[in-house]
Amino acid sequence: MGAGVGAKPGIWDVATGATTPVPGLPMSAMRNQSASVLLPPAQAQRVMIVGGGGEEMHDHDMKKPQVATRSVAIADLSAATPKYKAAAKIKHARMHLNTVLLPDRTVLATGGAAVEEHKVNAALEAEIFDPASGTWRTAAKARVARLYHSVALLTPDGKVITAGSNPHRGVEELRIEVFSPPYLFKGARPGLALADDHAVYGATLAASTAADLREVNLVRPSATTHASNSEQRLLDLPFTVTGPDAIALTLPDNPNLAPPGWYMVFAVSTGGVPSMAQWLHLQSQ
């Protein structure tokens, strides 16, 4: 999205077709191939945009490579007049990156490069954002550069698959890597079992776990392309302890926050370690 090019940030009312602008986006001319994500939990209605680069430019049919930015911004859409505000920058400038919601309510930024599709400028080191503290930390380095046409997806075991990349036209990256987030090295994983794998909006669902829990999260499986993953979201699932090793989950009652379909349910221990996901189909009456 370059200056004067493409759609500007706004909230679209699907009922009326009206759009309310969301101003204040820093580096607005440097958001081509940026990544945006609904920060967890979705109930907070905070949107983050990460990285990006300049718009594509051509001179006498020669494409000029564009540089990327480290800029990050967050908009609180629950505010009376939402606007973007600058947030902590990522360490590595990235465009063509992917952002992935992790089951401990952090956000992974992976892949991309400081100069468009230039492999030599690839950002191999992963970065993880904590919405609670507003800070980034670095994580493991990838072995494979992930540039244009790359993807990153959360799996039910809490790991992230990275795949694809198209550094040059006609050159396709076929290797796949698996990223293990830091929480997988913090101790034993809590167990979780759901009483049913189908439930309706607003219902209470029984579950069992022997662990002391910090939270339970509902995570939608997703699909990504061109640094965009509009499907992914993580919702808080309020829970109450109902007995020894027993809890009751309160499911969301708003299909706008949680569209019908299959979700992964993660229980997160007080130590910040997520369980293996249990699948749940959320549906109307």
Residue 73 pLDDT more than 60? yes
125 vs 108: CA distance, rounded Å: 11
Q: What is the pLDDT of residues 124-173, one digit of tens each?
A: 999 999 999 999 999 999 999 999 999 999 999 999 999 999 877 788 88
Distance CA 209, CA 178 (A): 27
* pLDDT bracket for residue 59 (50, 70, 90): low
Q: Helices (H) and strands (E) in the chain — how many of each?
A: 0, 24
The pLDDT, as a whole number, for residue 182 is: 97
Q: What is the DSSP letter of 55?
A: P
Residue ranges of the chain assigned to CATH 2.60.40.10: 186-283
Q: Does the pLDDT of residue 61 top 60, yes or no? A: no
pTM of the predicted model as reported, rounded to 2 decimal places: 0.93
Distances in Å between the alpha carbon of 145 and those of 32, 38, 117, 133, 208?
Answer: 19, 25, 10, 29, 41
CATH of 10-184, one of 2.130.10.80, 3.30.70.3450, 3.40.1790.10, 1.25.40.10: 2.130.10.80
Residue with tokens 């072995």: 143
- Give the model's confidence band at 6: pLDDT under 50 very low, under 70 low, under 90 confident, else very high: low
| Start-end of CATH 2.130.10.80 domains in the chain | 10-184
Tell me which CATH homologous superfamily contains domain 186-283: Immunoglobulins (2.60.40.10)
